[in-house]
Amino acid sequence: MFVSRSMTRKVITIDKEADIFEAQAKMAKNSIRHLPVVDKNNFLIGIITDRSIRTALPYDLFKNPADQDARKKISDLKIKDIMTKEPITISPMYTIQDALLLIQEKKVGAFPVVDDKGKLTGILSVRDLLRAFTNVLGIGEPGTLLCVLVEEKVGQLKKIVDAVTKENISFGSVLVARYWDKNKRAVFLYLLTLNVSRVKKKMEELGFEILNPMEWYLDQLPQST
């Protein structure tokens, strides 16, 4: 799935000459934490976050938001003075997997999405990514998550899919994850049913091990000494 299908298209933006209080108001009104800064032609020139606003505000305003003297001290402070210039951006043609890895690497909460000319076309936040992966994994529908431990060899996944299909049960998603034993893989099945007893029995008959999907990973973490 591409970023262009998952990003927020109607982006709330702000002008570089706006003051810090306007930025605060926009964030509060729209329940957002990132404001791309654009010029009159919608080209991205920076970004401002709730963190950058908090950093810029004097301590007196945190104690008393209505303190007029404190507000006056920063009345001349503009967005251009505190924004992050040349922020990290992504292309609409990135995949959501690319975006997820980049967010993890850069430790940011959102990326402005720009075209090849630098014009803002959207914004992709952690919230957008969660919504996208919820859709991809099919977990928005009622179902049950199973974790099946298999040997790492060709044909194992086909056996599992065939067994579930014969039970006339639909898949929400199938995810294969690494396991601490390098010769094994953990296969996560999200099945669109609340009754998986027959599937569990079939997996065991095929020689697979059923794991608790909520505990298997923690159980495999190295123990402290």
Whether the Cβ atoms of residue 190 and residue 151 lie closer than 8 Å to each other: no
Indicate the burial class of 40 (C-beta count within 10 angstroms; 0-12, 13-18, 19 or more).
exposed
Query: How far, in Å, CA of 41 to CA of 15, rounded?
Result: 11
Structural domain harbouring 212: 140-220
Q: Which strands, in side-by-side order, build the sheet including 184-191?
A: 171-178, 184-191, 144-151, 209-211
**What is the Cα 181 distance to its own chain's centre?**
28
Lowest mean pLDDT among 47-56, 110-119, 155-164, 209-218: 209-218
The CATH number of residue 51's host domain is 3.10.580.10
pLDDT at 223 over 80: no
Instruction: Write out pLDDT tens, residues 83-93.
Output: 999 999 999 99
Model confidence, pTM: 0.72
- Shared domain for 98 and 185, answered yes or no, is no
DSSP for 140-189, written as a single string? TSS-EEEEEEEESSTTHHHHHHHHHHHTT--EEEEEEEE-SSTTEEEEEE
Which whole number is the average pLDDT over 170-196? Answer: 88
- Shared domain for 123 and 146, answered yes or no, is no
- Shared domain for 62 and 117, answered yes or no, is yes
Residue after which a domain boundary falls, among 112, 134, 156: 134
**Which residues lie below 8 Å from residue 44, measured CB to CB, with a gap of 6+?**
36, 37, 38, 87, 89, 112, 114, 118, 119, 120
Residue 225 lies in a domain: no
How is residue 119 annotated by DSSP? B
Report percent pLDDT > 90 for the chain.
Answer: 60
Q: How many domains does the chain have?
A: 2
Reported as a pLDDT band with limits 50, 70 and 90, residue 116 is very high
